[in-house]
A and B are shown apart, each in its own frame.
Chain A
C-alpha cells in the first residue's frame, strides 16, 4: 500500500494475555519506529530499527515488551502478560533515511488501540 499500515486497529484483551501488533512500513523506508501514545499525550518513543537491526530499545518500558523486524520490512511489537497500564494507542512510523541524517519526516500509521481489561 501507499502508507504505513498497522493491524489490528483495535485490540481488546484480558490481563495476562500476550498481544502482537503488526506494522507494514512504506516500501523502501529504511527506518521504522514504534511509539506509544496515552490519551491526551504526545507519542512516546519505544524502539527503532534501521533495516532489520534494532538500533535502540531504550524506550521499551520493561522486558514484557519486545519488537522485531526480521527481514527489514514488516515489524511486530509483542507485549507479553499484558497489564491494564499497557492500554494505549501504539503507533508505528517509518522514514526514508537512516541515522546518517534524520532531518526527514516520519510517516505514521493510524495506530493500534490496545485495551487491556
Chain B
C-alpha cells in the first residue's frame, strides 16, 4: 500500500543550526510529494512540493528533492530560526488518486 514514514521527533536545535527531517515513502506509480507545516494553534499549510523525480521543492529557505531511487523526500534548511518551531508533515498523493496520505509528523523546537 501507499505510506509515508518520517523520523520521530521531537527535534531540538539551536538557532542557525542545519536541519534535516527524513522522509521515505512507499507508493505505486509516481506520486506527488509534499511537506506541510503546522504552527501552534493553526491548521496545516503547504510548505513545498515536488511532482516528479529529481524535482526540488523550495520555500522559505526549506528544500526537499524527490529521490525516486531511494524513495525519499528529506526536508532540509541551512539555518533554522526560532520561528521555524512547528510540526512538519511529509505527505504523498499517488498517481491517479485523490487521497493525500500523511506521515506522523515531526515536531521541531528551535532554541534562541
Contacts and interface: CB of A to CB of B under 8 A. Distances in A.
B34 A105 contact: yes
A111 B102 CA distance: 16
State the main secondary structure of chain B at its contact with A.
strand
A99 B98 contact: yes
Interface in B54-101: 89, 91, 93, 97-101
A107 B44 CA distance: 8
Contact of A102 (B4, B41, B44, B98): B98
A21 to B, nearest CB: 14
A56 B43 contact: no
B102 A43 contact: yes
Kindly state the interface size class of chain A when it binds its partner: 20 to 34
B43 A108 contact: yes
B45 interface: yes
Nearest to B49: A105
Nearest to B34: A105
Contact of B101 (A40, A45, A48, A56): A45
Given A45-B100, A48-B99, A106 B46 contact: yes
A69 B102 CA distance: 24
